[in-house]
Structure 1
């Protein structure tokens, strides 16, 4: 099994509604075929975090009963996809589609974040220090990797541009928050593949000093940079499809990273 624990299938009526929504959204995209650029990928960044923030609220049982089935994992990612596509297609009818897409995403993201912070305040479990440290570490590590990529593979970095930077930052955030969560805060790692890396690190002589999360950070960053380099040629040949893949890779990192960041801020293990 390679999926994280905690994944559940929503009740059949909710599942049917969600599947219909996903199919309709996919059909609308296929019919309109909107171009995808690096700036569009960046505009989707708040939406990548939105699903994870909503899932945190689901874990903390803060959502109305009617919304709960659509905020469980992995249903929340389908729900976010449907809403994001609807907003994107609607934003394309405006004079500033990317700004509208990003702006609506930020407004939507603020709702579950506010709910989670209010929960942390009410339960006296608000602890932003270590999550902030993880965020700063992600910014630093992501910046180092991006600067290194621009120096060693400038043509590739220019090709992927902001979308490639988002991929690296997203996976740096996932890696940094996971390492802090496991080594400092006492949270367990739910993803089996990540757990294997940390179990291997636990057997190394460095474990008593550096913990087990450092190896996960190294692996995540190496893989993220390698994927960005590999996808640069694809972006040159087929920009829309290439940026779509970069968006998916970015979401796989930024989503879990945003989830960790918010959960660790408002809840204790």
Structure 2
């Protein structure tokens, strides 16, 4: 099995209109060619987390049955990308009209508000079910921040050109994958959660087969692999970002989302499940 458990494709009558809107937004952005800078990637960070929060709400069975499948995986990420793209387009037009200082500020501000509301709804639903447990999620976020700072320090000292070129985008890549790795490790070793992604499950099982598993658990290997891969990717992308900053940072943003989205999903789900 290659696909994660719970992978659900929406029915055609929901998928087709969603794809039409998504591809239309992509086509318009391709025409407008807005620059992709570190600020743009950071402005999209809340949108990476919105998809995770929306999927947690799906697992809490908040949505009406008629549209709930849109917020399963992978539909929820397509929905989030579509809405985020439309907000980016609107911000670009508002900037051109002089109504916003920058499109990134508009994109990030809307994203922060939507994410905050999503988190509040998640916590309220969890509170109604008597299941709000914030301790381990907070630990996961704090430890991820510390590990990211340490990893970025190492990168800055030994591979200064990589850190300088990838900048805040690179830091977000490392943090996103650190959060995914550490939250997964906590879920697997401490909370008894199962892993839905087959490749990740294989790494966790490999960690569990090592002699160290009895003392420090199995998740440490997954954390190490995630952070090492993130830093290797930054090294491989250094020349690309230097030659074509917009495309390079856009692809790094996608890689950051692959870590930050699942990581935030884990944190929110552990808080209310």
Q: TM-score, normalization: structure 1?
A: 0.97
Note if 1:170 corresponds to 2:173: no
Aligned with residue 233 of structure 1, among 239, 254, 258? 239
Partner SS for 1:44? helix
Corresponding residue for 2:70?
Answer: 70
Deviation at 1:70, TM superposition (A): 2.0
* Change in CA separation of 1:68 and 1:111 when aligned onto 2, cut-off 3 Å: farther
Q: What is residue 49 of structure 1 aligned with on the other side?
A: 49
In the TM superposition, 1:96-135 aligns within 5 A as 96-135=102-141
Instruction: Map 1:12-91 onto structure 2 (within 5 A).
Output: 12-91=12-91
Structure 1: 4+ residue segments shifted above 2 A: 64-67
DSSP 3-state at the match of 1:146 = helix
Deviation (angstroms), 1:26: 1.4
Distance 2:87 2:22 in 1: 14
Unaligned runs of 5+ in 1: none
Question: Could you tell me whether the CA contact under 8 Å between 1:174 and 1:260 is conserved in 2?
Answer: yes
Give, in angstroms, the shift of residue 66 of structure 1: 4.7
Q: Deviations over 1:186-236 (max 9, x none)?
A: 110111111111111111111111111000000000000110111111000
| Aligned counterpart in structure 2 of residue 198 of structure 1, from 199, 204, 224 | 204
Q: Secondary structure at the match of 2:210?
A: coil
Q: Do 1:22 and 1:82's aligned partners in 2 also have CA atoms closer than 8 Å?
A: yes
The aligned residue for residue 214 of structure 1 is 220
How many correspondences in the alignment?
267
Worse-matched range after superposition: 112-121 or 136-145: 112-121
Matched, 1:189 2:186: no
| CA deviation string 1:54-101 (max 9, x = no partner) | 000001101234542321110111111111011111112222221111
Q: Compute the displacement of 1:49 (Å).
A: 0.4
| Number of the residue aligned with 2:161 | 155
Q: Does residue 179 in structure 1 map to residue 179 in structure 2?
A: no
| C-alpha displacement of 1:38 | 1.2
In structure 2, what is the Cα distance between the partners aligned to 1:29 and 1:126? 40
| Contact in 1 for aligned 2:50/2:80 (Cα 8 Å) | yes
Secondary structure at the aligned position of 2:73 is classed as coil
- Counterpart contact for 1:128–1:265, Cα < 8 Å: yes
- Counterpart residue number, 2:97: none
Does the 8 A contact of 1:18 with 1:70 survive in 2? no
Maintained 8 Å contact 2:8/2:69: no
Shift in Å at residue 154 of structure 1? Answer: 1.3
The whole-number CA distance in structure 2 between the counterparts of 1:26 and 1:176 is: 33
1:138 equivalent in alignment to 2:144 = yes
- Output the CA distance in 2 between the equivalents of 1:171 and 1:63: 29
